[in-house]
Amino acid sequence: MSALRLVLGDQLDRQISSLSDIDPAADTVLMAEVEDEATYVRHHKQKIAFVFAAMRHFARDLEEAGISVRYQRLDDRKRASSLKEAVRIALSATGASCLVVTEPGEWRLLQDMQDWEDDLGVSVEIREDDRFFASHAHFERHAKGRKTLRMEYFYREMRKSTGILMDGNEPAGGEWNYDKENRESLPDDIDLPSLPQSRPDEMTRAVIDLVEARFSDHFGDLHGFAWPVTRRGALAALDRFITERLPSFGTYQDAMAGGEPFVFHAVLSPLINIGLLRPQEVCERAEQAYKDGDAPLNAVEGFIRQILGWREFIRGIYWLKGPNYGSENALDARRPLPDFYWTGETDLACLGEAIGATKAHAYAHHIQRLMVTGNFALLAGIDPRAVQEWYLIVYADAYEWVELPNVHGMALFADGGVFASKPYAASGSYIDRMSDYCGGCRFDVKQKTGPEACPFNYLYWDFIARNESHLAGNRRMAMIYKSLERMDPDKVQTMRKDAAAFLDEVCGTN
Q: Strand, helix or coil at 383?
A: coil
CA dihedral defined by 333, 336, 337, 342, rounded to 10 degrees? 170
How far, in Å, CA of 442 to CA of 77, rounded?
A: 52
What's the pLDDT at 196?
A: 82
Cβ distance 451 to 441 under 8 Å? no
* Burial (0-12, 13-18, 19+ Cβ within 10 Å), 342: middle
Measured in degrees and rounded to the nearest 5, phi and psi for residue 477 equal -105, 0
Angle (deg, nearest 10), helices 297-304 and 279-291:
170
Q: How far is CA 271 from CA 10, 94, 237, 277, 278, in A?
A: 9, 31, 9, 6, 9
Q: Strand, helix or coil at 124?
A: strand
* Burial (0-12, 13-18, 19+ Cβ within 10 Å), 66: exposed
How far, in Å, CA of 23 to CA of 44, rounded?
A: 36
Tell which residue, 150, 54, 110, has the closest CA to residue 397.
54
CA dihedral defined by 383, 385, 391, 394, rounded to 10 degrees? -100
What's the pLDDT at 197?
A: 83
Give me the tens of pLDDT residue by residue for the chain, a chain 510 residues long. Answer: 899 999 999 999 999 999 999 999 999 999 999 999 999 999 999 999 999 999 999 999 999 999 999 999 999 999 999 999 999 999 999 999 999 999 999 999 999 999 999 999 999 999 999 999 999 999 999 999 998 999 999 999 999 999 999 999 999 999 999 999 899 999 988 999 988 888 999 999 999 999 999 999 999 999 989 999 999 999 999 999 999 999 999 999 999 999 999 999 999 999 999 999 999 999 999 999 999 999 999 999 999 999 999 999 999 999 999 999 999 999 999 999 999 999 999 999 999 999 999 999 999 999 999 999 999 999 999 999 999 999 999 999 999 999 999 999 999 999 999 999 999 999 999 999 999 999 999 999 999 999 999 999 999 999 999 999 999 999 999 999 999 999 999 999 999 999 999 999 999 865
- Complete domains list, the chain, with CATH: 3-127 (3.40.50.620), 136-200+212-319 (1.25.40.80), 340-507 (1.10.579.10)
What's the pLDDT at 198?
A: 86
Cβ distance 378 to 428 under 8 Å? no
How far, in Å, CA of 163 to CA of 169, rounded?
A: 9
What's the pLDDT at 9?
A: 97
How far, in Å, CA of 352 to CA of 373, rounded?
A: 10
Please tell me the pTM assigned to this model.
0.96
How far, in Å, CA of 69 to CA of 265, rounded?
A: 36
Give the total residue count for the chain: 510
Measured in degrees and rounded to the nearest 5, phi and psi for residue 256 equal -135, 150
Tell which residue, 28, 106, 118, 119, has the closest CA to residue 66.
28
How far, in Å, CA of 111 to CA of 319, rounded?
A: 12
What's the pLDDT at 509?
A: 60
Q: CB under 8 Å to 28, separation ≥6 — which residues?
A: 2, 3, 4, 5, 68, 69, 70, 90, 94, 96
